[in-house]
A = this chain, B = another copy of it.
């Protein structure tokens, strides 16, 4: 099984623009990518990165400047089975990823909070992705159309992609890698107001 981690190198994590500078967002995005790659390697697999432009990363790199959907769909042809794991899953652990990789089914989908598809495995030659909109529901539909069996991976760690400020609290609470260290070094800490957890800097 090939394991591919797409990375949008241009202007990553724009929804954190109110909290982090453009340079900080790039550094934080690269820290999360590092963590995801390390967690995949700990399962005994060798990931490669599919980036929209060249980046300095210690992993096999493929550059494809197209949008995510066509770039990923071209990747499927290279192997009988493919795993696509998003680069901003800062809570992903080897245990959670092993559950993904070893789950049975023609297609394994790990939904993200908000209807996205944070990770998937395809073992079906006709399966194609469509990351626009609520891709979780779209992927269920695409799988049904081609008669592919679907397994849902139920994981909070993989469902949590880091897009918004509230997600940073999840990284501080549950992260174990360089992205959490990066946030701590940048001065972030948990704060609880009115029974709800957030972060302060």
Q: Which residues of A contact B (CB under 8 A)?
A: 93, 95-96, 111, 113-115, 132-134, 136-137, 154-160, 166, 169-170, 173-174, 190, 192, 195-197
Contacts and interface: CB of A to CB of B under 8 A. Distances in A.
B113 A156 contact: yes
Q: 3 tightest CB-CB pairs across the interface, nearest first?
A: A156-B159, A115-B197, A133-B192
Contacts of A93: 154
B195 A95 contact: no
A134 B170 contact: no
Number of copies: 2
Contacts of A158: 156
Contact of A111 (B96, B132, B174): B174
A10 B155 CA distance: 32
A134 B195 CA distance: 8
Given A137-B173, A190-B134, A111 B196 contact: no
Contacts of A96: 154
